[in-house]
Structure 1
Amino acid sequence: MKIDRRKALAGAAMLGLYPGAAVAQTARRVRRGASSLSATSDDVVAFGEAMALMKRRGDQRSWSRQNTIHARNGQHNNGLFLPWHRLQLAHLERIIAELTGHAAFAMPYWDAQEHQTLPSWVTGTDAPLYERQRARGVDVLDFSAARWARSPHVARLTSDGFETFAGKLPDGAGMVEGYGHNFIHELVGGLMKRLAAAANDPIFWLHHANVDRVWATWHARQAANIYPADWTARRLGGFVGAQGEDTGDWRVGDVLETGSLGYVYDHLYPFPVFSAPDSGPPGATRREPLGGVVYQMRADGEAGRDRMSVTLPAEAVTRMAAADDSLMIAGAGSVAYTATEQLLDRSIEIRMTCGGRGISLGSSPTFLHLTEGEHAGHLGDYSLPFRFGEEVLNLIDDGSRPVTITVEAEDLDPGAGRPPAQGAALDLSLTLTESRWA
């Protein structure tokens, strides 16, 4: 393969990856954006060559083995989603480096918001990373437009707390998984739509490199104590090293910095702010809370039904209808469904309605484990967060009509005639805080 041998020699000491040990290196590997690369770029050539080699192997370094690791042991719909995928991706990088001799190999990332279409070196039938089992038209799809058309909800890299961003334990996706990650799997289609096969498509790895980059961006903006101690103490294992060996267990707290695994990104995620700043009277810069009230609501699922709904208290609706810019509104909720085959090929749709009008509070295609392995015996519930703020004032009229939040698991293949998914619970906490501008 045509690679820069000087870079390869500079990175030759980086092939080992073991928990608890500093990475020996003369330079960090740099993960670069898809739009800055071509079919002849060293990292693209190495990835394509390694994938072809791994598909011919039948040992621990085979391509199918990487998919099996993800299908059986991958962490999804919980707070270990980010560190688990970071570790699998870092280990694959080392395998590729070893098999191809390109020791400085770094996985390219594909950001659907910054690089709106897939690179040609992934989609062309003669491309090194081509996969035939993808959705029709994926080679020309504007992923950014398609994703925003479905849902305006995303992780907030400047303000999301840990559980909101990363997820909960034992069950519960974070915003980055539920609203950033899942949509790409659905839109790419084919192998990517099924957790049991997703890692067979090379787009999977480019996508997860970008998910990891989003985490790195959020991490850089947080205080050192943002991570719960019980989370950082968790251990993850089952990964395959550069020589096909089991690399042992990894403590989550040891992989919070990409540098500890020997890589950096060419630049961090460039879209950190997704909500408009507060604006108030002339000269005012912030709102100071004066006190407020919290309303808690819950609806349990009914047997054989996927639809669940809660109605906001009339008192809260009346206050919001009369609100000026001194009222601070914070709604935070979660929806849960029983994780069964009936939940595959669904999209969790959360809406707030008032009279005959409605707005979306969340939309996310499902992506869940239904396989043997580490998750066997504990599928739990499939849980998705949602939130809202002052934007709901555009929906509420004079306060005389009820305001309802409804969730449904919409079937993405309605012609199949399947029975509905089983709703488990809809929980909502609504906080109304009086404030003054200062």
Structure 2
Amino acid sequence: MRMNRRAALAGGAAAAIVGTGVAGAQTPVRIRKGAGGLTAASEDVAAFGEAVRIMKRRRDALSWERQTQIHHRASQHNNGLFLPWHRHQLAHFERIVAKLTGHDAFAMPYWDWQEHRFLPEWMCDRDSPLYERERARGVETLDFAAARWAESPYTAKLASDGFETFCGKLPEGAGMVEGYGHNHIHQLIGGAMRHPRTSARDPMFWLHHSNVDRVWATWHRNRGKDLYPADWTALTVGGFVDAEGRDVADLPVGGTLETRPLGYDYDRLYPFPVFNVIEQGPPGATRRIPMGGQSWTLRADAARGGRISLTLPDDAVARMREADDTLMIAGEGAVAYARETALEDRSLEIRMTSGSRERTLGSSPTFVHIPEPGDGHHGHRGPYVLPFRFGEEVLNLLAASEGPAAVTVFAEDLAPELARADARAAWIELKLTLTETRWA
């Protein structure tokens, strides 16, 4: 089936012509739609399947294997270039699908695992080119919104996160959207999706990253427009091929901030804008006014093995134990592990412990890019760094315990049957700020 190039744009896509920013061409704005509202007969689904068939038969720059290798060799992970690199890859891939199928309005569907809790049925049809046999057992009936890692309260806060917290740091350090909203889907789908070197082989990769990109578009609307550092927007990302199969010169990060200049938009943005608990104070009070406070910057280096702990200052713990609702707590930290194959298929479990009690501060399966000779990376040589944070939710733990309190991290082995050596912890850092306030 070859689609009619002159078919009307599906789903109300805009007819305006804009520069794509990816290959210097002009294209109508394509509208990405939610996978849960589409069927196997939907134009974008049919075009995606047709393109996969075509690309798997090719042995040139437009082959399916080439797309897998682009991600394996050039993709950015665990740093502040994660979002712009994947936005460019997906935009180029959309144009390749449009070129190969003749469906000029093609836009990659997005799969929102919180709204549509199961994989789309048309991705699980064994007769479809969109089916990938190397997925986790039982994934076709898995409720992703109730699965492990899905209910983390430490997912990105789309209405309040700052730039580095959301996007990540350079040269190394994932943002919240990558560490907690991205990694676990790769691990739960399993098979090829578990590792950067193979993940683009599974068609679900593209639907998942379309939704990750939609999360960024939502944060950008809420917070991002004035938060991007100039030195970050001046960086470039590369490794892509265009719709003709030609290598694309490195592209500026600053050209990725808006979606419409890249030729696409979303039918609607992310419907879960913030995970914060609404503040509740005395009757008639609506906000807390800062009155002053104190901060501690802490760091501990690992001695050996896969577990590392950082003990909180005694005076900070004592103040938190006697706190009422006027004390604001902000803990922002990161933990680092050696970037090596022993870290693959692990889950970094971050806990606050005191006495015999503990509370999770984050839980994230690893998605580790192990560099190889010839990789198109300017980074990925340092450690694998995952952020974490906490606030007033730790007060109940501290109030119900005695003695020192610590943040402890360990790398749980998700494949214990392999009896592997421990992953190697490197360091843990934490900035803890206690702010005295009054309600007004």
Q: TM-score range by the shorter chain?
A: over 0.9
Say if 1:16 and 1:94, in contact at 8 Å, map to a contact too. no
Would the alpha carbon gap of residues 51 and 185 (structure 1) be closer, same or farther in structure 2, given more than 3 Å must change? same
Q: What amino acid sits opposite 2:382 in the alignment? A: G
Would the alpha carbon gap of residues 281 and 259 (structure 1) be closer, same or farther in structure 2, given more than 3 Å must change? same
Out of 225-234 and 371-380, give the one that drifted further: 371-380
Residues 192-214 of structure 1: per-residue CA shift (max 9 Å, x gap): 01111000000000000000000
1: CA distance, partners of 2:259 / 2:361 = 33
Out of 76-85 and 245-254, give the one that drifted further: 245-254
- Structure 1: state its 5+ residue gaps: none
2: CA distance, partners of 1:280 / 1:355 = 30
Out of 238-247 and 48-57, give the one that drifted further: 238-247
- Structure 2: state its 5+ residue gaps: none
Out of 282-291 and 45-54, give the one that drifted further: 282-291
Q: What amino acid sits opposite 1:350 in the alignment? A: I
| 1:392 counterpart SS class | helix
Partner of 2:162: 161
Partner of 2:420: 418
Query: Is it true that 1:386 corresponds to 2:388 in the alignment?
Result: yes
Pairs aligned (count)? 435
Q: What amino acid sits opposite 1:429 in the alignment? A: K
2: CA distance, partners of 1:2 / 1:11 = 23
TM-superposed CA distance for 1:312, in Å, is 1.1
Taking the TM superposition and a 5 Å limit, the aligned residue runs for 1:171-320 are 171-222=172-223, 224-303=225-304, 305-320=305-320
TM-superposed CA distance for 1:419, in Å, is 1.1
Say if 2:155 and 2:181, in contact at 8 Å, map to a contact too. yes
2: CA distance, partners of 1:15 / 1:133 = 39
TM-superposed CA distance for 1:150, in Å, is 6.6
Residues 391-438 of structure 1: per-residue CA shift (max 9 Å, x gap): 001101267421111001111111211111111100011100001111
TM-superposed CA distance for 1:13, in Å, is 10
| 1:362 counterpart SS class | strand
Partner of 2:342: 342
2: CA distance, partners of 1:194 / 1:167 = 20
TM-superposed CA distance for 1:2, in Å, is 7.2
2: CA distance, partners of 1:14 / 1:54 = 27
Q: What amino acid sits opposite 1:180 in the alignment? A: G
Residues 285-306 of structure 1: per-residue CA shift (max 9 Å, x gap): 1111011000122110113x11
Say if 1:57 and 1:63, in contact at 8 Å, map to a contact too. yes
| 2:399 counterpart SS class | coil
TM-superposed CA distance for 1:11, in Å, is 9.0
Say if 1:334 and 1:383, in contact at 8 Å, map to a contact too. yes
Partner of 2:322: 322
Instruction: Using structure 2 for the length normalisation, give the TM-score.
Output: 0.95
Partner of 1:96: 97
TM-superposed CA distance for 1:378, in Å, is 4.6
Partner of 2:58: 57
Say if 2:166 and 2:177, in contact at 8 Å, map to a contact too. yes
Say if 2:302 and 2:425, in contact at 8 Å, map to a contact too. yes
Instruction: Supply the RMSD in Å over aligned alpha carbons.
Output: 2.1
Q: Once the two structures are aligned, what percentage of the paired residues are identical? A: 60
2: CA distance, partners of 1:341 / 1:335 = 18
Say if 1:43 and 1:105, in contact at 8 Å, map to a contact too. yes
Partner of 1:363: 363
Say if 1:192 and 1:199, in contact at 8 Å, map to a contact too. yes
Out of 389-398 and 423-432, give the one that drifted further: 389-398
Say if 1:120 and 1:127, in contact at 8 Å, map to a contact too. no
Instruction: Using structure 1 for the length normalisation, give the TM-score.
Output: 0.95
Partner of 1:69: 70
2: CA distance, partners of 1:399 / 1:241 = 59
| 2:86 counterpart SS class | helix
TM-superposed CA distance for 1:131, in Å, is 0.7
Residues 55-107 of structure 1: per-residue CA shift (max 9 Å, x gap): 01011000000010100100000000000000000000000000000010000
2: CA distance, partners of 1:20 / 1:243 = 10
Say if 2:144 and 2:150, in contact at 8 Å, map to a contact too. no
Out of 100-109 and 127-136, give the one that drifted further: 127-136
Partner of 1:39: 40
Would the alpha carbon gap of residues 247 and 323 (structure 1) be closer, same or farther in structure 2, given more than 3 Å must change? same
Residues 125-164 of structure 1: per-residue CA shift (max 9 Å, x gap): 1234111000011111001110456733200001100000
Say if 2:15 and 2:29, in contact at 8 Å, map to a contact too. no
